[in-house]
A and B are shown apart, each in its own frame.
Chain A
């Protein structure tokens, strides 16, 4: 008797399951039927949003696009928890047509085959690549076949166009700077003496002269300044376990040991921008994102942005986000039309008009007061490693925090990161 009941339940379950499968199969078929040749129809656009002002700006750009291309309608949505949301859409093979691609995510997304190579579209539309800052483009290019666009040879596959970017700058509280009676430092040695002066004059009574997180996303700028790097140029080997990298870390630790620098958590802050706002630090190293933050949260704190200090050479990290197209996009022609407008001269001008982001095109001028950032454009290297490097960076971050706590030596940390990075590179992500 029991067995019969079970068979009944099992049969019912199987029936429901089958119905579900049948429904999904027919659904898939009807999707495939809708193919359009000319760029028209609806294009879905997805990204994340930091503020309502930013969303409004993007909607303004989209309106401009729809006026120019009345046959294409744009369906824009700002996704929360972006990476996770995109993962779900990619694996369902229903990605948005056009979407944000963070430089740091790009290698993994490219390797996993979810991004569409744009070369043929670029060629067809004769869309010029040269106005974009070359270092930023590099974050979205990988080795591929050479092709010509407007007479210029592009030797690599392009998976996205940067929509904006920011390097790090050096922000200093102007009042504290005046109290210490010094000029903004331009070299490592000057940075140390400026911090000493700020300390001896008690210019930062509630904090430390410098706020700098034990974070590779900040320290890497100093590594570059010290002629070091994380990976070799072809991204086939780790170069972390080298004297140049050790020198940058040692410089950081020596400032910390001399009581001239601290991490934001020790200054009662989530990040150094907050420490600057709370007047718990005089000198911080942040990007253009600090500007709207300070206007909104700490409008009364006077500060100025200077170019990043220089070590053996100029060095900086470029944070950039591109627009890419999903390989499983259903309307790629129209998607590229939208993409080329968003990163085009007109679209980018509107997008960067309020100074929330810096233009990634040389032919679009940023709003006033951003000169200190733009100086880094020729040498700032994109915040990017290789496919599958999230774990390496997790290890790197944890090791770094152990070093700051005095529970790990710099050499042991660098060796560990080097081994982890090489293992990931060998595995290919």
Chain B
């Protein structure tokens, strides 16, 4: 009661200043390297734009071309298919592993590290190794007794990348789930145990629903990551997105358009389309999971 209103205010101001001082550098780089390019891309997408800059204004022609573009359609289809398969698998695997390593197991720390390990390796290195393993005279074929060139066959090229990424990134998903799992109060489990609930029932009736914020976070991260698939597709196909367009993803196509053909305006339009897609999907997820839980 002794403190005056003004004194409280100045302390709050000081606290706030310290807070802003901490975020000023990341905020600055966020504005300069993320927000500014985002709006600049919107601007560029309305021009024919080359290496040395503006060539001519096109209005919405780049977007109209996008709708007619066969290759863009294929890229969207591949990207969505990839996302539809990879996201549920990643989530299930991540959750499964998190539940396992959340128990009082022997060597628990070892398993946690081991499950997370693939996420540490660079995707480029893993893809390069996968090329050897999946080649027609590679390890996988000698195990299976076949001679399929997995990356060179349009039926198996994308599924191969799917498998590769489910394996490497589920460790990260496990980490997210583990954090959520540990935030569930043990009281609930004790109550369930007293009521005589079995393990399976406890998982479905208590753990799974209480993980809702965790589900939302993992889903959003996983969907965004999947929609941005690039490096594995680029390396496995040598940049061409083949065979038979099987590994042409939206970001790979964007890369080909800008970096190889120098069509920056059209590339920016592609980027905007990708942004709209990611934004819409995230919005839908947020609506599905409800606003309060998501926060």
* Given A112-B50, A398-B241, A401-B244, CB of A265 within 8 Å of CB of B149: yes
A113 within 8 A of B: yes
B281 within 8 A of A: no
Asked if B261 contacts A390 (CB within 8 A), the reply is yes
- Interface-side segment among B26-34, B187-195, B211-219: B26-34
- Interface-side segment among B169-177, B222-230, B252-260: B252-260
Q: Kindly identify which residue among A9, A114, A391 contacts B27, using a CB–CB cutoff of 8 Å.
A: A9
* Given A83-B259, A394-B240, CB of A112 within 8 Å of CB of B51: yes
Q: Mark B113-143, 1 if CB is under 8 A from A, else 0.
A: 0000000000000000000000111100000
Q: Mark A97-116, 1 if CB is under 8 A from B, else 0.
A: 00000000000100011100
Q: Kindly identify which residue among A8, A267, A397, A398 contacts B20, using a CB–CB cutoff of 8 Å.
A: A8
Asked if B149 contacts A391 (CB within 8 A), the reply is no
- Interface-side segment among A86-94, A125-133, A311-319, A352-360: A86-94
* Given A265-B152, A394-B240, CB of A83 within 8 Å of CB of B260: yes
A142 within 8 A of B: no
Q: Mark A61-93, 1 if CB is under 8 A from B, else 0.
A: 000000000000000000000011001001101
* A:382-429 near B, CB below 8 Å: 388-391, 394-395, 397-399, 401-402, 404-405, 407-408, 429
Give every chain B residue within 8 A of A266 (Cβ-Cβ): 136, 147, 149, 152
Asked if A402 contacts B243 (CB within 8 A), the reply is yes
Which residue of the partner chain B has the closest CB to A113?
B52
Give every chain A residue within 8 A of B16 (Cβ-Cβ): 1, 5
Q: Please, how many residues of chain B have a CB less than 8 angstroms from a CB on the other chain?
A: 39
* B:136-186 near A, CB below 8 Å: 136-138, 147, 149, 151-154
* Given A5-B16, A83-B259, A401-B244, CB of A17 within 8 Å of CB of B51: no
Q: Complex: how many Å from CA A1 to CA B16?
A: 10
Q: Complex: how many Å from CA A173 to CA B263?
A: 44
Q: Complex: how many Å from CA A113 to CA B54?
A: 12
Q: Complex: how many Å from CA A79 to CA B104?
A: 53
Q: Complex: how many Å from CA A1 to CA B14?
A: 12
CB distance from B86 to the nearest CB of A (A): 22
Q: Complex: how many Å from CA A265 to CA B256?
A: 23
Q: Complex: how many Å from CA A104 to CA B32?
A: 35
Asked if B259 contacts A263 (CB within 8 A), the reply is no
Which residue of the partner chain B has the closest CB to A404?
B243
Q: Complex: how many Å from CA A90 to CA B31?
A: 25
Give every chain B residue within 8 A of A113 (Cβ-Cβ): 50-52
* Given A8-B20, A112-B52, CB of A17 within 8 Å of CB of B243: no
CB distance from A164 to the nearest CB of B (A): 24
Asked if A16 contacts B28 (CB within 8 A), the reply is yes
Asked if A265 contacts B135 (CB within 8 A), the reply is yes
CB distance from A386 to the nearest CB of B (A): 11
CB distance from B151 to the nearest CB of A (A): 8
CB distance from A336 to the nearest CB of B (A): 22
Give every chain B residue within 8 A of A265 (Cβ-Cβ): 135-136, 149, 151-152
* Given A9-B20, A17-B32, CB of A390 within 8 Å of CB of B260: yes
Q: Kindly identify which residue among B51, B154, B244, B263 contacts A114, using a CB–CB cutoff of 8 Å.
A: B51
**Which A residues are within 8 Å of any B CB, using their own CB?**
1, 5, 8-9, 12-13, 16-17, 83-84, 87, 90-91, 93, 108, 112-114, 263, 265-268, 388-391, 394-395, 397-399, 401-402, 404-405, 407-408, 429
- Known pairs A112-B52, A398-B244 / 5 extra A-B pairs, C-beta < 8 Å: A1-B13, A1-B16, A16-B28, A397-B240, A429-B261
State the 5 A-B residue pairs at the shortest beta-carbon distance, nearest first: A268-B137, A265-B152, A401-B243, A402-B244, A390-B260
5 A-B pairs with CB atoms under 8 Å apart are A13-B31, A268-B136, A390-B260, A391-B71, A391-B257
**Which B residues are within 8 Å of any A CB, using their own CB?**
9, 12-13, 16-17, 20, 24, 27-28, 31-32, 50-52, 71, 135-138, 147, 149, 151-154, 240-245, 248, 256-257, 259-263
